Amino acid sequence: MIYVCYGAFFIAQPAKGFNGGAGETARIVFFHVPVAVLSYIAYCVGAWHAISVLRARSKPGLAGRNSDADRKSAAAMELGFVYCILATITGSLFSGAQWNSYWNWDPRQISIVIMLLVYAAYLLLRSALSDRTDRRAELSAVYCLLALVPATFLIWIVPRLPWLMSLHPTEVLAQPKNTSLDYKMVLYPSFIAFFMLFGWMLQLRVRMMRLLSRG
């Protein structure tokens, strides 16, 4: 993590292909892209545990696992919410520096904002169910999985809708000649670092929830 923070500012050569300045703004990619990817992966983790919440239902002996899977699912969704906000903010900062406008209704911006709404709705449902803990695990798992259809569309379809024009520099970055070796040397560890950070935060949150429910 420290390496990434240091590397983002001092090691990597600015990426080519970004107009205006020397591509200094591309440094935010080290933070923005992993966070944005994780904000969707968090949903996948949440949905995965939601499935095991529902599967445990048909086997009464697994009632204990049920509540643990529920905690994991909820923790992943909470983190997804946080990462979604971070991705929105970092993306907006980049957009402001690059195009002089913090918000362009870019399809990916729309996607992430709707994803943010879905996360918020999930958390709202959980807090609305706080007095019905016997049903909370299953009902919130159902909502989490129900969001599977919109989430699939948000990740794969919406950014490609012909009706919406994207400004995202995906292609610019994907071309090998535009980025130097040391740029990649920071970007890939950055992914690993953020993934590890996510896993660590998830574990921490689950343990915290376990302790709270015991007390």
Partner 1 sequence: MMSGEVNLKVCDLSHSFEERQVFAPVSFALKGGEAGVVSGANGAGKSTLLRIIAGLLLPKSGTAEILFGEQSLNAEERRSQIGYVAPDLNFYRELTAAENLQFFAEMQGRILTKAEMIEALTHVGLRGRGRDPLRTYSSGMRQRLKYAWVLLQKAPILLLDEPTSNLDAEGTEIVKEIIAEHRSRPETLTLIATNESDELGWGDFTVMLRQTL
Partner 2 sequence: MSGISGKAWRQATFTVFKKEMRTELRSRVSISGIALFAFSALILLTLATATLREAQTIAFSKMLDGMTVEAIAKLRYPAWDWVSKMGLLWILLFFAAFTGLAHTFVQEEEAGTTLVLRMVSPPTAVYAGKLLFNFMLLLAVMVGVTPVYMALTGMVIGSPFVLLSVMLGGCLGLSATATIVAALAAKAKGSGTLFSALGLPLVTVFLLLLLNAASTANTIDPSALRLLRDVGGLYSFAIGVIALSGMLFPYIWEE
The site for partner 1 (CB under 8 A) is made up of 57, 60-61, 63, 133-134
- 141 binding partner 2? (CB under 8 A): yes
Q: In the bound complex, what is the minimum distance in angstroms from residue 46's beta carbon to partner 1?
A: 23
| Residue numbers 81-140 binding partner 2 by CB under 8 A | 110, 114, 117-118, 120-121, 124-125, 128-129, 132, 135, 138-139
SS (H, E, C) 110-176: HHHHHHHHHHHHHHHHHHHCCCCHHHHHHHHHHHHHHCHHHHHHHHHHHHHCCCCCCCCCHHHHHCH
Residue 214 binds which of partner 1, partner 2, none (CB < 5-8 A, kind-dependent): none
Q: In the bound complex, what is the minimum distance in angstroms from residue 70's beta carbon to partner 2?
A: 13
Rounded Cα gap, residues 158 and 184, in angstroms:
28
Nearer to partner 1, 60 or 162 (CB): 60
Residue 138 binds which of partner 2, partner 1, none (CB < 5-8 A, kind-dependent): partner 2
In the set 11, 164, 167, 197, which binds partner 2 (CB under 8 A)?
164
* Residue of 2, 71, 69, 44 lying closest to 144 (CA atoms): 44
- 42 binding partner 2? (CB under 8 A): no
CA dihedral 66, 72, 75, 80 (to 10 degrees): -120
**DSSP-assigned states of every residue in 3-40:** HHHHHHHHTSPPPTT--STTSGGGGGHHHHHHHHHHHH
Q: How many residues bind partner 2 (CB under 8 A)?
A: 34
Nearer to partner 2, 2 or 149 (CB): 149
With vertex at residue 39, the alpha carbon angle to CA 36 and CA 42, rounded to the nearest 5 degrees, is 150
Nearer to partner 1, 184 or 210 (CB): 210
Beta-carbon contacts of 54 under 8 Å, excluding residues fewer than 6 positions away, are: 138, 141, 142, 145
Q: In the bound complex, what is the minimum distance in angstroms from residue 133's beta carbon to partner 1?
A: 5
- 183 binding partner 2? (CB under 8 A): no
Contacts with partner 2, residue ranges (CB under 8 A): 54, 57, 110, 114, 117-118, 120-121, 124-125, 128-129, 132, 135, 138-139, 141-143, 145-150, 152-154, 157-158, 161-164
